[in-house]
Structure 1
Amino acid sequence: MGNSLIVENLWDTFHARSSVAQALAATLFTWFMTALGASAVFWRRSFSQRFLDAMLGYAAGVMMAASYWSLLEPALKLSQEASLPWMPAAAGFLAGGLFLRGIDAVLPHVHLGFPTTEAEGWPTRWRRSILLVLAITIHNIPEGLAVGVAFGAASAHIPEATVSGAVALALGIGLQNLPEGTAVSVPLRREGLGRLQSFWYGQLSGAVEPVAAVFGAAMAATFLALLPYALSFAAGAMIYVVVEEVIPEAQRGGHTDVVTMACLLGFVSMMILDVALG
């Protein structure tokens, strides 16, 4: 009996570590997709604002669909036996939004398309390029966290959370990171930065995803009782970013119809991925 317990504990430890490794590998892929999108500055100086706005709209659609199918739906299913089945998902969702609101209020940043006078966070004299990159970095924290939590939940071997579902989420995030990388690096190039510098800052915005993913996977795999809260926390953080940052930036250029249709396309793309693979 003692030996079997030791083996079981070792097996659980292995799965917790493997989920962290899976999350790291998945977000290295999403980081690569960000870098691939940012590399557009090497072969084209600029894109039309209409095109850039559509790419942001697509990213918003992917994030909204991922928030439900990959995060909130499993959280709700995991809470069915609770006395208040809606409470873990609701509490985690709101906590995720409040967490991003706190970062938003403290970290200096300025969103794409907005003048430096509209910078948010603590007052600073940092260069505009740094403030722009920090804005998109805030955006990428919940994406990495979501992928990490999804793989951590999958390591618990529960029907509501699967590795294939986590892979679908990572693929969807990577899919939207491709145009997002372009949407970051090209405006930096327009502002006078060199090609290499624009690419560097564009891809750097995705570097936070592996860090957030490792943290999310480790926490989810270690504290299984908190899985509904962790999944919905990541969902709330992503929805906060979509509403507070991505959609306003996409709409600022005036191409509202294009942005809306691109958002719908992104939503459907992520929905298909999650249903087909999850």
Structure 2
Amino acid sequence: MHSPPLRQPPANWRTWLSRRRGRVLAGAAIALAGLLLLLRDGALLLADLPPPARMALVGGCWAAAATAAGTLPILLSHNFSQRSYDAALGLGGGIMLAATSFSLVLPALAASRAGGAGAIDASLTVGGGILLGMALVMLLGHLVQSDRVLQDANARAPQAMTRAWLFVAAVAIHNLPEGVAIGVGYGGVDAAKAHTLATGIAIQDIPEGLVVALALRAVGYGRAFSALLGAVSGLVEPLGAVAGALLIEASTAFLPWGLAGAAGAMLYVICHDVVPEAQRHGHCNTAAGSLVVGFIVMMVLDTALS
């Protein structure tokens, strides 16, 4: 006996929402009430934060806003060339690479030496922190397999929306080290260096937001929905920034490890995600040239203007 065929999915997610308008409105009302409570609690918490954590929160919010800004081309343009997409990825990768070198690894070595470590001990400490940061992101990455959750886009709408949120969760895991790096910078590095690091990460987040929105758009999600989830993927950065700043505020002994851990996490993301994705469609020269340009831009920001 054959099982009955599944009901055909709606043409798009707007149709699916319109058929469940009552449930959607009730859920929206509950979500709005929860958001208002979170905003109230957040305002109370913000008043109690130490100054470095407050500055880190602002830097993290700028990074999240840059991620949201990166999704705007999805709303404004019907076509976005693959070469431009790969160039934007390469540019972001270069910025992250320079930020890792000049804003994280070198300050981590200096902080370790300032804490009394010798040259060899400082190098080993920073190397260990880099490995720990890489291992943490690898562990978190196993929680959500982002390369699988966008497959089979023709499944029923509720399942497709679930996969979309899983994809955003996977991207948010990769954004977390950037937020932590901002927070660690404000917690222990001088303010000028921290501002430069936050600026570089925010610049890098613009193409990153575009990447998320384009990936969702490519498998059939609506323009507005893709842009919305692309913006949501950056909201983890303010949380990571505050956590990083509070960690360093608790003890300056964590500073070399925090800086090195953020560097290791970002290095892993560059090697595992950014560079392979930028070169996957054959535009290797474009991606590599953009990466070098991004590296130079961040190097100038970090060494000449700070």
Structure 2: tracts of 5 or more residues without a match? 1-46, 153-158
Shift of 1:125: 8.9
In 1, are the aligned partners of 2:137 and 2:174 still within 8 Å (CA)? no
**1:48 aligned residue:** 81
Give the deviation of 1:180 after TM superposition.
Answer: 1.7
Asked if the contact 1:143–1:238 (Cα under 8 Å) also holds between the matched residues in 2, the reply is yes
Cα deviation for residue 15 of structure 1 reads 11
Instruction: Choose from 207, 210, 213 the match for 2:235.
Output: 207
Tell me which residue corresponds to 1:121: none
Task: Kindly provide the amino acid, as one letter, of the partner of residue 67 in structure 1.
Answer: T
Aligned position for 1:224:
252
Determine if contact 1:110/1:135 at 8 Å carries over to the other structure. Answer: no
Residue 277 in 1 paired to residue 305 in 2? yes
Instruction: Calculate the TM-score normalised by the size of structure 2.
Output: 0.77
Does 1:63 pair with 2:100? Answer: no
Please state how far the C-alpha of 1:115 moved relative to its aligned partner: 7.0
Q: CA deviation at 1:209?
A: 0.3
| CA deviation string 1:135-158 (max 9, x = no partner) | 3212211110100000011xxxxx
Does residue 168 of structure 2 align to residue 133 of structure 1?
yes
Aligned-pair CA distance for 1:106: 2.2
- Are 1:166 and 2:194 matched, yes or no? yes
1:129-179 deviations in Å (ceiling 9; x for gaps): 2343233212211110100000011xxxxxxx2101000011111111112
Query: What is the CA deviation profile of residues 202-251 of structure 1, one whole-angstrom value per residue up to 9, with x for unaligned ones?
Result: 10110110011110010012110111111000000000111111111111
Deviates more, 1:253-262 or 1:75-84: 75-84
What per-residue deviation string (whole Å, max 9, x for no partner) do you get for residues 15-39 of structure 1? 9711100010011111111111112
1:115–1:129 CA distance, 2 compared to 1 (3 A): closer
Matching of residues 111-130 of structure 1 within 5 Å: 116=151, 127-130=162-165
- The alignment's TM-score, normalised by the length of structure 1, stands at 0.84
RMSD: 2.2
Larger Rg: 2
Match of 1:150 in 2: 185
Identical positions, percent: 38
Displacement, 1:110?
Answer: 2.0
Alpha carbons 1:63, 1:238 under 8 Å: kept:
yes
Q: 1:45–1:184: structure 2 CA closer, same or farther, 3 Å change rule?
A: farther
Partner of 2:79, secondary structure, is coil
Aligned to 1:7: none
2:144–2:166 CA contact under 8 A, matched in 1? no
Partner of 2:145: 108
Deviations 1:54-74 (A, max 9, x none): 111111111111111111101
Structure 1: which amino acid aligns with 2:186?
F
Contact kept? 2:56, 2:245, Cα under 8 Å: yes
Counterpart of 1:20 in structure 2 is: 53
Q: Which amino acid aligns with 1:195?
A: R
Once the two structures are TM-superposed, the CA of residue 186 in structure 1 deviates from its matched residue by 2.4
Q: Is the 8 A contact 2:89 2:274 kept in 1?
A: yes
- Give the corresponding residue for 1:91: 128
- The match for 2:14 is none
Equivalent position of 2:274 in the other structure:
246
